[in-house]
A and B are shown apart, each in its own frame.
Chain A
Amino acid sequence: MIDGQQRTHPDWVELEPPRKSRKRFSWTPYLFIAPNLLGFAAFTLLPLIFALVVSFADWDVISGMKGITWVGLENFRDGFSDPTFWKAMRITAIYVLGSIPLTVVLGLLLAVGLNGPSPGRGILRLIFFIPYIVNAVAISATWILLYHPRYGPINAILRWIGVDRPPLWLASSDWALPALIIMAIWGGVGYNAIIFLAALQTLPEDLYEASDLDGAGVIEKFRSITVPLLSPTTFFLLITGFIGSSQSWGMINLMTRGGPGTSTTVASYFIYQNAFQYYRFGYAAALSWIMFAIVLVLMLLLWVYQRRAVFYDS
């Protein structure tokens, strides 16, 4: 570079001599994120810290802060040895494993079905997405009617096709959990399909064209191209589904309140009972942290596994 040209050429900008890198501090970006940060601190971080603190105490809320009695690790010891909690964890595992994988698979199939050109595609997408956006109370009321053992349309159909003693659904310890799993799948398929549809738009056409030239069929293309290329999306839906489903509480509270017996008492509901019905907030907090630790470990294992199973472009 010629020094003189740099100064005299009209298009060239006069450059400042290099200065020591010294960023000027500004509050502006912090002000932009402040509302979110404050909300996060007030409604997430502080409650988390408080729940951790309370998990080492015996506390019933009503006695106020002065009523906190420190018990060390007793709540955690009780939790690990509480058969009802572990039964609730087993029910949670059945609920999660029964609903999420099937929801993802059906969501994928639905997305593939809705991806091609077909009449009324937009309407169909909307219909399948509706369960995701409808109020949970309305959904519960509808399913309570559908599942009614004597008058429900589901059992009416089952009787019509020759099932003499159709399930009692929510009124049976054997069928209440499967009934909730069916509801969860119905509620989640549309959301999964929409996410998969968005991912399908990004898949490179040239791979499909090349496979056409090689004579690959529809199933072969789906198995060898679509599924691997969608694996990041699948992983995302699985992991968020597992976490969300393990925290299920609202629908269970509305539909079964953990019953009949304890057949649908998932861990979240058991924790809720301890906190809000029995006023054992310290114990409930400890159970929450135990559950968090278990879910975290399982998700980390899934994360490790995805390094081998998930296909990324790069």
Chain B
Amino acid sequence: MTTFKTTRRRLVGTGIAGAALVGAAKSTAFAAPLLKMQDGVTLEVWGGVPAENGPQALVDAFTEASGIKVNYTRYVNDDTGNTQLDTALQGSTTVDAFFTYQVARLAQRINAGAALDISEKIAGDEQISAWVAETDGIFTIEDGVYHSLPTTQEMQFMFINQKIFEDAGIDVPTAGWTLDDYVGLAGELSDGMTFGTYAPMNTATLTIGQNAWYNEDGSASNFGDPLFAEHYGRHRQMVDDGIAFPWTDVIAQNLRAYAQTPFLTEQVAMWVNSPWSLRYVNDKEQYPHDFVTTFAPLPSFADGQYNNQGINNWMLGGASTQYPDEVWELIKFWLTDGAVYMLPAGKIPALMTLDQATVVDGMLGPNADELYDKAAFEAAAFDPDIRYYTDSITTGAAEISTLLSGLEDRLLIGELDVDQFISELTEGADGIIAAAQ
């Protein structure tokens, strides 16, 4: 069993809260000259974001500020790309720093000794240590021992096609709308060709939060929780009613990971997604469209607040790096002054040293007035009701994920009913967890 405990269960502050927390120390690591670093150092950094979307500009700025050269290598964040990175971490290629995007892989890499211990570096930096102390969900394998820091917030909110709402004479929802409102609107906006929504948000995981798939001690699955049956039953019903995007199309077009096409071709009116998908809306060349994208916070359910597994893009130093000081300087830069360069990639900084207006402008790009409702974006992306968490149990997570997506497909195309789905999912996940322990 691979169980990891976070040190704090308090929830990570949102952008605004984060900014307030570090307000006194607002920016930055590079206001003062850098520590004297070794001459001629070149750091090898591996990340999943294409260099041209921000990382290259960031490392160029870092080189200019510090004199430390950086080679940024983009790896594709899929199974093959991650295996390439893992092989490189074994010494086939030098990796001084790298990014990880799934908690299960993060746990595996840290546990395997592939990551640099940065606990002392954090403790020695007033700004970073203050942020880490006040932020819950930062992943550790034991109290006070840190190997990674999150660089972005990736919360979920609703992308909305304003034109479809206007044509239907319906007001765009705002904060405070409910789950029933959402389902009702999806029905009103569906006409057989256009679907009210792509897919509903997973109210089970958003309500439960941390380790939603597992029981309290991680010894069995938690899919028997009625919240799962409720969510998947709702989704199935919405597909059957023709108000959520047909899952047969999702499978037939391989839309599971990237579903921007139905939204940007006006097949769906509402789409639950994260800031990184803004890059598709910004790309009018590849996705030509003539509607304004507006936003809403997720509709309220449960107690009004909801959990979001939204701190991500974990940055780590390579365990075998010869330049731990330089790597730490790069991590600090990525979290602080460098964050501005990642905004065009849709990356809201995890440590908010930038003011909110700068973040919004950087993310929505130069055509924001034409493409977006900026005020709605601010309200959705900086929703104070979001609570952040990071899973601490990852036992058999990859296998459970495969099992879940396979059964979800069968449920949503009508081959299983909800009871069969929950029963097979629970049995399968329990078996996976038992085998992994």
Contact = CB atoms under 8 A, between A and B. Distances in A.
Given A62-B89, A277-B398, A260 B109 contact: no
Interface in B108-132: 108-109, 112-114
B41 interface: no
Most chain B CB within 10 A, of A62, A152, A169, A173, is at A62
A86 interface: no
Size category of the B interface is 20 to 34
A220 to B, nearest CB: 47
Given A147-B252, A149-B252, A273-B402, A171 B413 contact: yes
Interface string B80-119: 1011001101110000000000000000110011100000
B183 to A, nearest CB: 23
Interface of B: 79-80, 82-83, 86-87, 89-91, 108-109, 112-114, 246-249, 251-254, 398-399, 402, 405-407, 409-410, 413, 415
A156 to B, nearest CB: 14
Contact of B80 (A168, A258, A276, A278): A276
A170 B251 contact: yes
B413 A278 contact: no
Given A261-B406, A276-B80, 13 more contacts: A61-B87, A64-B112, A67-B112, A144-B253, A148-B249, A149-B246, A149-B249, A170-B252, A259-B406, A259-B409, A260-B409, A262-B406, A277-B79
Contacts of B79: 272, 276-277
A223 interface: no
Contacts of B90: 61-62, 64-65
Contacts of B254: 144, 257
A245 B129 CA distance: 56
Would you list the 6 A-B pairs with minimal beta carbon distance, nearest first? A171-B248, A276-B79, A260-B409, A171-B251, A63-B112, A62-B112
B406 A61 contact: no
Given A173-B410, A260-B406, A60 B112 contact: yes
B112 A258 contact: no
A101 B334 CA distance: 58
B409 A277 contact: no
Contact of A148 (B86, B87, B113, B252): B252
A261 B410 contact: yes
B415 to A, nearest CB: 6
Size category of the A interface is 20 to 34
A278 B398 contact: yes
A61 B410 CA distance: 33
Contacts of B413: 168, 171-172, 260
A171 B112 contact: no
A137 to B, nearest CB: 12
Nearest to A149: B248
Contact of A259 (B86, B91, B251): B251
Given A147-B252, A277-B398, A61 B83 contact: yes
A277 B113 CA distance: 20
Contacts of B82: 276
5 contacts: A62-B108, A65-B90, A257-B254, A276-B80, A278-B398
B410 A276 contact: no
Contacts of B415: 172-173, 260-261
B409 A261 contact: yes
Given A60-B112, A62-B109, A169 B252 contact: yes
Contacts of A259: 251, 405-406, 409
A169 B249 CA distance: 11
A60 B248 CA distance: 35
Contact of B249 (A67, A150, A279): A150
Contacts of A262: 406
Interface of A: 60-65, 67, 144, 147-150, 152, 168-173, 256-262, 272-273, 276-279
Contacts of A144: 252-254
B86 A61 contact: yes
A213 B334 CA distance: 87
Contacts of B87: 61
Contact of A64 (B91, B253, B406): B91
Contact of B113 (A63, A147, A168, A276): A63
Contacts of B399: 277-278
Contacts of A173: 410, 415
A144 B248 CA distance: 12
A84 to B, nearest CB: 10
B246 A150 contact: yes
Contact of A277 (B86, B109, B402, B410): B402
Nearest to A256: B251
Contacts of A152: 252
A146 B319 CA distance: 49
Given A261-B409, A262-B406, A60 B253 contact: no
B402 to A, nearest CB: 6
A168 B412 CA distance: 13
Contact of B247 (A61, A171, A256): A171
Nearest to A148: B252
A149 B90 CA distance: 45
A64 B91 CA distance: 9
Given A61-B87, A260-B409, A150 B398 contact: no
Contacts of A149: 246, 248-249, 252
A100 B118 CA distance: 56
Contacts of A260: 251, 406, 409-410, 413, 415
A272 B398 CA distance: 13
A148 B246 CA distance: 12
Nearest to B89: A62
Most chain B CB within 10 A, of A67, A144, A277, is at A277
Contacts of B248: 149-150, 168, 171-172
Contacts of B83: 61, 276
B394 to A, nearest CB: 12
Contacts of B407: 261
A268 to B, nearest CB: 14
Contacts of B410: 173, 260-261
Contacts of A62: 86, 89-90, 108-109, 112, 114
A149 B252 CA distance: 7
B108 A60 contact: yes
A42 B266 CA distance: 51
Contacts of A63: 112-113
Nearest to A174: B415
Most chain B CB within 10 A, of A150, A152, A261, A273, is at A261
